[in-house]
Amino acid sequence: MTKVRSVDVGGAAPYRIRIGPGLLDDSAQLAAHARGRHALLVSDDHVAPLYAERVAAALQAAQPELQVATLVMAAGEAHKTLASLGEVIDALATLGATRDATVYALGGGVIGDMAGFAAACWMRGVDCVQLPTTLLSMVDSSVGGKTAVDIPQGKNLVGAFHPPRAVIADTATLRTLPARELRAGLAEVIKYGALGDPEFFAWLEQQREPLLASDDAALAEAIARSCEHKAAIVERDPLEKGERALLNLGHTFGHAIEAEQGYSGAGRDALVHGEAVAVGMVLAARLSAMLGMAPHTDTEHLRSLLLAYGLPVDLPAGLAPQALLERMRLDKKNLAGRLRLVLWRGIGKAEVVPDVDEARVLEVLAG
């Protein structure tokens, strides 16, 4: 018998994350979250041919009176734009979606963030159900309600907090995920150990082989434990007034890399989001050691684990340190024009450090 795991996210707008194989075929569950007459299923052109018809049919079977439209976007970070957001809004208008409509986001974090943002904007907010199909979106982006699109000046700079109504993670979809994207998702899993859970970090050191081989039980455990970490933090701090910022370990560096590459992830030399976060975590650890906050041995420990998972740990060639620093100045965590970074005291002990000396950041970026 297949096991479905649940993680509940509490707070003002509580919801359940369900994790297990075959959940996209559970038509009653999928349709249970559609309150009104309209459902817009948003996906991308890699994921839609694999799963969209099944989801649309399941919704229709459970609720024959539901008007279901499907919108397929071009895949990839380069399409997480205001223009794509406009396409989702147009589709909602064409559907005649009323305030009780539901947006179903079927795909990775790009679709989840963009469709989630459209749901936040349409008529000042309609329901969004997240149907994550990448490991990264199952362990991170589908949970917590951050939605956004990128602009050339920076990543996720235009967005809203809009918690999903439900998250349904069908782990069977991971069987079609390219190996590189699986590894990128594992970077965000490692992040939870690095920022606050040394025991999970040690577990990940032991579980490398089953996780990289997409072993169902190991992946389910990694997803559930990651979601428990994220749920606990976003429940206490949904709007990132405090500790939620810790979830951004490695992200200020990582986002700067992605923006500087022009969001061309999965291109020949460009990093995808999870890979950029892997490099970013090593840079944050290195800076922490340079500032005397943490032992160098912990940087090496983190670097070794990321390498063991086949992840990049060094800045890609050709990115200028000064240009990356300029990007970092537009990070959402900064206050009063000063760099505010998530650094650490060692494995499992991340903290937010205000007013970081830019000269030291440049030193780290210059290697």
Q: What is the CA radius of gyration of the chain?
A: 20
Q: Residue 274 interacts with ligand GLY (CB under 6 A)? A: no
Rounded to the nearest angstrom, the gap between the alpha carbon of residue 356 and the centroid of all alpha carbons in its chain is 26
253 contact partners, CB below 8 Å, separation of at least 6: 276, 279, 280, 283, 284, 324, 328, 365
Q: Name all contacts of 304-308 with Cβ < 8 Å and 24+ positions apart.
A: 305/190, 305/201, 305/204, 305/205, 306/187, 306/190, 306/278, 306/281, 306/282, 308/205, 308/208
Find the shortest distance in angstroms from Cβ 68 to ligand GLY: 29
Of residues 75-94, those binding ligand NAD (CB under 6 A): 75-77, 80
Rounded to the nearest angstrom, the gap between the alpha carbon of residue 187 and the centroid of all alpha carbons in its chain is 11
What is the four-CA torsion angle of 149, 190, 352, 8, rounded to 10 degrees?
Answer: 70
Of residues 29-68, those binding ligand NAD (CB under 6 A): 44, 46-47, 50
Question: Is 295 exposed, middle or buried (CB count within 10 Å of its CB: 0-12, 13-18, 19+)?
Answer: middle
> In this structure, what are the phi and psi dihedrals at residue 71, rounded to the nearest 5 degrees?
-120, 125
Of 105 and 339, which CB lies nearer to ligand NAD in the complex structure? Answer: 105
- Stretch in the footprint of ligand GLY (CB under 6 A) among 81-89, 127-135, 240-248, 256-264: 240-248
- Encoded one letter per residue, x for contact with ligand GLY by CB under 6 A and - for no contact, window 128-167 reads ------------x---x-x---------------------
Q: Residue 133 interacts with ligand NAD (CB under 6 A)? A: yes
- Stretch in the footprint of ligand GLY (CB under 6 A) among 4-12, 91-99, 242-250, 288-296: 242-250
**Catalytic residue ranges:** 124, 146, 188, 230, 240, 244, 248, 251, 255, 273
- Encoded one letter per residue, x for contact with ligand NAD by CB under 6 A and - for no contact, window 160-179 reads -------------x--xx--
Find the shortest distance in angstroms from Cβ 116 to ligand NAD: 7
- Stretch in the footprint of ligand GLY (CB under 6 A) among 241-249, 290-298, 322-330, 345-353: 241-249
